[in-house]
Each structure stands twice: as structure tokens, then as C-alpha cells.
Amino acid sequence: MPASLTITASSIDAGLLALPWATPLGEWPSETIVSLPKGISRHLVRFANLSGRVVAVKETTAEMARREYEMLGSLARLDVPCVDRVAVIGGRRDAKGEELPAALVTSHLRFSLPYRALFTQVLRPDTANRLVDALALLLVRLHTVGFFWGDVSLSNTLFRRDAGAFAAYLVDAETGELHEAGLTRGQREHDLDVARTNIAGEIMDLEAGGRLEGGVDAVAIADGIVSSYHSLWAALTDSETFSVDEAWHITERVQRLNDLGFDIGEMSIDTTQDGTRVSIQPKVVDAGHHQRRLLRLTGLDVQENQARRLLNDMDEFRARVSRLGSDEEMVAHEWLTRVFEPVVKAIPWDLRAKLEPAEVFHQVLEHRWYMSQARGRSVPLAEVLSSYVDNVLRHRRDEATVMGPPTETMTLSTIDPDTPDDEVPTDSGTVDWRDLV
């Protein structure tokens, strides 16, 4: 390790000292590198092993590395979905004493993939639209905390599966700016225009490479982020006026935001001088309404749509076992130990890196619905699990950390990860479910 090497980190991992910083990133040895699919980047980015985990290493200037490191720390404190910062490496020199670029090290986000790796052969319209909707939600969340991105794109985002939808995480923050006073409409519209342009280009690039399903309109998909963004932004920020005897509108507005996955941290309520009209406007909104409720009840930390789905199943469980009047925390504990945990524990060890436990549970519920529809009767959960594991889960690629060749040459799965369960065989398999309650 060169004596001039400097490491900036909130918590030092001794493994950082063992990485070959005196070697240009493009020449790092294969035993250090982890082969993972990655998005398009203006900088060289490679994945490496660090103390038993995977990190992303990006070569850039010392100033940009330090700036992005600080920005990621600020976004994390604001609870914005983004990758976790690890360290900034400066003072790098090769064996001849020649200066090497600084490096930014971030944690690899488990169970996340760049958009190009979320499909096997061609991108279908439904998948593309879900990706765009997830990016629109991320952009709204960033804008509500005063973050101007400057380079919004699918390539600068990682995606996690979220109960039939996707959750988007910011990866590249080097062009971003935080404004404590909030963003102007012009700044927000600039980000939105950049997003639309970049997405259209990325989809057209897939089309040129034969990886876009026929008949898909790249511009229409890109336009989708504009409509999704404006619809969500209006729901979160628009003022609403009603007569004083219609105060139920306040509760209704709160419920609408809760349904969208947001809590109101602060609301402005104004009345007219004669007291006949009331105006309300959310001033502070916090994403993760269902996440927080599920975490409080069960300790499970999952994505927002997954939390919504698990809470719905918990409510159904309460109704099935006639515990409508029971304490919510008691019902949640019983559901966790009798329903959720047995399903997760029943997944064979060699398949547990395929998907997050909450996503597996969601897909089992989906699979049960399709099997029940096909047979015209309720199917026992043990039989559903056996069918799901043998006919669906075994054919998925691992998403905890997808190893293998680059995205463009990734081996195709036997079953497309986005194939609906109603198109997957549902014959029950031979898995032993004796441990299932």
C-alpha cells in the first residue's frame, strides 16, 4: 500500500487496505473482481470483494469522489433510497509513482439490478412502464427533500422487485445538488425533461439492439415519467378548498396519501375570514407509510408495495381466525410466526438467494391465486409452495448478487423472470413441507 494513500470513511473496513489501489481499476486481478451486471456509466466502474461483501468501485477525480461521498451521506440521512457510501480513496499511485484517479467505493445493493438485467431477452411494455413509474416515484421523493439530480436516467438507477412493481434507488449522485429551501418549478421541470430525454434514448438503444418487444413506442414510454411524476406531485402538494361543514375532506386527503404510501408530517390549514371555507395543503410528506407500519408490527423491513401486500394478508389472516377484535400487535405476531416465517423457512437453502423473502411471499400468494382460479377451488398452501418452488423459483436467476457474465451475454433463464404466474405450469412438485405450520 502506497504511503500517500488516503482513505475517507465513516467506519473503516480493514479490508480496504488489501485492495490493489496501486493498480489501475481496469487491470485489477480476477480474484478481486466480482462479475455483476452494471448500467452504463461515464466512468469506469467495477465490483469487488470486500470483507465478504460486494462493493462498487468507481474511478473519478478526487473532488468528484469526495463530493459524491458527502452527497450520498446527506441523502441517506434524509432517508432517500440510494446506495450506501463506503469510502473515498485518494493519493493513489502506481508502481512507477504515476498518479492514479481517486476512487469512490459504495456498497452493492442486494437484490437490486440495473434496468438492462431485469429482463432476459426483450423488454416488454409492461416491464418498461413499471420501471418508469418507479423512477418517477424516486424523482418525486428526491424533489420533496430539495435534491436536484441533473442526470436522471434508468442507467443511474438500480431497481428492486416490489410485489409486482419495482422500487428505484439512486446510484449516481455526482451531478446532484441539495437545496435546503426546496426546488423551483424550473429545476423540477429540468430534471423531468432530462429524464424523458434519457429514457427515450435508453429505450431506443434497446430497440436498435433488438432487445425491445415489437410495437413498443420508446417515446411513449419516456412520456410516461412526465404523467406519473405530475400526478404524484399534485397528490402530495396541491392545495384543496372546501366548505367548513365538509371537514371530512381532511381525513380523505390523509387516506389518499396513505394509500399512495405517504404520511403527512405537517399540513397547512387555513380558513376564510368569515369561517365558511377551509383550505388544506400538505407541507411535509414522508414516504414509507406501509413500511413503517409493518416494521412497527413485525420488525420486517421491506419495500413499500411488499409491505402493503403483507399487511393485506395479515388483515385476511385476522378475519380467517376470527380475531377482528384482537390487539393488532398480537395478531401481527401470530401471523408472523404461523404464516410468513413458515413460508420463508420452507424455501430450500440453495434457492434463498433468488429473491428477497418478502418478494417470495408475495409471489407465493400470487401463485396460490392463479392455481385456485385454474382449479376452481382453494389450494392448500403446502401444495402451492411445492408448485411455486419447483415450477417458478428454481428457474429464476439469483438476484441477491447476480454473478456471471455481463448483462448483454447473461444466460437466459428457463422461465422469464417477468412471466406471469398464470403462464407458468402449476403441477405440484415433490418438496417436503413437513416443517410448514
Listing DSSP states for 324-383 in one string gives TTS-HHHHHHHHIIIIIHHHHHHS-GGGTTSS-HHHHHHHHHHHHHHHHHHHTS---HHH
Between CA 338 and CA 73, with CA 359 as vertex, the angle to 5 degrees is 115
Whole-angstrom Cα distance, residue 105 to residue 404? 21
Domain with CATH 3.30.200 in the chain: 6-108
Domain with CATH 1.10.510.10 in the chain: 113-237
398 close to 353: Cβ distance less than 8 angstroms = yes
Helices (H) and strands (E) counted in the chain, each on its own, are: 11, 14
131-185 pLDDT per residue, tens: 999 999 999 999 999 999 999 999 999 999 998 889 999 999 999 999 999 999 9
200 close to 219: Cβ distance less than 8 angstroms = yes
CATH 3.30.499.10 matches 113-237:
no
Which of 236, 256, 238 is closest to 248 using CA atoms? 256
335-360 pLDDT per residue, tens: 999 999 999 999 999 898 889 999 99
Task: Give the CATH fold of the 6-108 domain.
Answer: Phosphorylase Kinase; domain 1 (3.30.200)
10 Å CB burial of residue 320 (0-12, 13-18, 19+) is: exposed
420-437 pLDDT per residue, tens: 443 333 333 333 333 333
285-316 pLDDT per residue, tens: 888 999 999 999 999 999 999 999 999 999 88
Residue burial 106-136, b: 16+ Cβ < 10 Å; e: rest = bebbebbbbbbbbbbebbbeebbbbbbbbbb
